[in-house]
Amino acid sequence: MEDTPQIAQMQTYLFPFLASAIFLLLHLIVYRGLFYQLSNLKIIRNFLKLFTFLNFCGTVAYMFLRQFPLVPQWLYLLISISIGVVFSLFVSTIIYQFLNIFIHFITSKNKRTAYRNYLQRIVIVLSMIYIGYGIYNGESNPILKKISIPLANLSSPLKIVQLSDTHIGGLIEESRVKKMVELVNDQDPDLIVLTGDIVDTKLKNVLKAVDELKNLKATYGVYYVLGNHEYLHDIYNIIQKMKDLGFHVLINQNSLISKNGIPLINIAGNADLMGNRMGYLQPNIDKTFEGIQSNIPTILLSHQPKIIEKIKDKPVDIILSGHTHGGQIFPFSLAVLLQQPFLMGLHKIENDRFLYINQGTGFWGPPMRVGSHSEITLINLFPKP
């Protein structure tokens, strides 16, 4: 077993402090911008102060406990929800302050105060509905998303199941992984691909959950590539575990799949772009495609969709990615588009290639989703007429 690289340890320990400072700022904005003038009653003011303080404590606890399974699952659920609560209330605060601009044009002071109070109450109620729906949707089982893609030079149909961003650890534990595996096996796939962020904690914390993955069954096996979150933990142990489970681990490599001795399709996989930032296990696109057979289709497994910027001259027919979580919680999905070319789904890009982005089979942070769904993707490839 190898130790976590030092730079990953530094980032892991530094991140909670930086995140806590950001969460403190968000809570102050929510309290002053939305709660402060909600009521003159002392009991309500004190309740709002206590709520803000406790929610802030929850966010800090999550940041520091996410690496260590020290609390019961129900408590971990509550503190993880606190992150979604403050993000949602922050957005509500921005909306309230924007609408409040128009109230300033009302000439009567009494009417301004009354309208402001009505607006605050409406915004807070809508926020609670938004949070409730997000938790319900986030806790729901993954949907089975089915797509079909025609491929030139494909000799026979191929059924692929894609899992991505399961983020095993914390709330994604053994029973959840078992359900995912059962749903995948029900599809009787030819091939299973895992496109990164499968494990999101130290391996020793989630051995039982990860072991559930060994029950994945596919005719041509299971193929795995790294996501950015694996770099933040004991990445070499995670890689070795995937190999021990019998998976084909692709780190700047490609593999040929044959049917009855006849080449059927290439599967290529690169190390994640996070490797460039961390300084180890860096992506090498040339090496990824080295020696690949060009007369049959090629599928590239790459965690981040923006890899499309780096493979324009490479023989790729389909790119399968994850990473974005479909934005997970709207409107924060808009921020994802500042870094990635698309949020989710199937896209036809230049040179007649297809890019498919899985929305994530699990979630990160709060068990909430608005505007997205946890998904398992069933991809049917068929010969192009």
% of the chain exceeding 70 in pLDDT = 96
Cis check: omega of the bond before 331, within 30 degrees of 0: yes
* Whether residue 237 has pLDDT greater than 70: yes
User: Cα 194 from chain centroid?
Assistant: 13
Distance of CA 33 to the CA centre of its chain: 30
Averaged pLDDT for residues 185-208: 94
Of 99, 90, 64, the residue nearest 79 (C-alpha): 64
β-pairing verdict for 318-321 and 345-349: unpaired
pLDDT tens, position by position, 278-318: 889 999 999 999 999 989 999 999 999 999 999 988 999 99
CA distance from start to end of the chain: 50
CA distance 304 to 289: 17
Report the C-alpha gap between 231 and 12 in whole angstroms: 10
Pairing of strands 318-321, 298-301: parallel
Q: Who contacts 3 (Cβ-Cβ below 8 Å, separation ≥6)?
A: 234
Tell me what pLDDT residue 85 has.
94
Task: Write down the residue that tokens 């340890």 correspond to.
Answer: 9
Instruction: Classify domain 143-383 by CATH architecture.
Output: 4-Layer Sandwich (3.60)
Distance CA 171, CA 62 (A): 11
Q: Give phi and psi for 369, each to the nearest 5.
A: -145, 130
CA-CA-CA-CA torsion for 285, 146, 366, 70, nearest 10 degrees?
Answer: -80
CA distance readout (Å), 41 to 1, 44, 49, 124: 59, 6, 13, 17
Judge whether 234 and 240 are in contact, CB under 8 Å.
no
Tokens 């807070």 locate to 124
pLDDT band at 247 (very low <50, low <70, confident <90, very high): very high
**Could you tell me the pLDDT band of residue 1, with boundaries at 50, 70 and 90?**
very low
Q: Stretch 356-368: mean pLDDT, rounded?
A: 92
Owner of token pair 């406790």: 54
| Count of CA atoms in the C-beta half-sphere (13 A) of 3 | 4
Are 59 and 82 a contacting pair, CB within 8 Å? yes
pTM flag (> 0.85):
yes
The runs of H, that is alpha helices, within the chain are 6-30, 42-65, 73-103, 109-139, 174-186, 207-211, 235-244, 274-278, 285-288, 333-336
Is pLDDT of 60 > 80?
yes
What DSSP assignment string belongs to 150-190?
A: EETT--S-EEEEEE----BBTTB-HHHHHHHHHHHHHT--S
Confidence of residue 5 (pLDDT cuts 50, 70, 90): low
In the chain, residues under CATH classification 3.60.21.10 are 143-383
Classify strands 345-349 and 353-357 as parallel, antiparallel or unpaired: antiparallel
Output the pLDDT for position 73: 77
Higher pLDDT, 172 or 385: 172
3-state secondary structure of 352: helix
Query: In the predicted model, what is the mean pLDDT of residues 140-160?
Result: 93
| pLDDT, averaged across the chain | 90
Amino acid at 252: N
Q: Report pLDDT digits (tens) over 254-284.
A: 999 998 888 999 999 999 999 999 889 999 9
Rounded CA gap, 222 and 161, in Å?
10
The tens digit of pLDDT for each residue in 312-353 reads 889 999 999 999 999 999 988 888 999 999 999 999 998 789
Mean pLDDT of 82-98: 94
Name the amino acid, one letter, at 147. Answer: I
Matching residue, tokens 């029900």: 186
Q: Would you state the pLDDT for residue 179?
A: 95
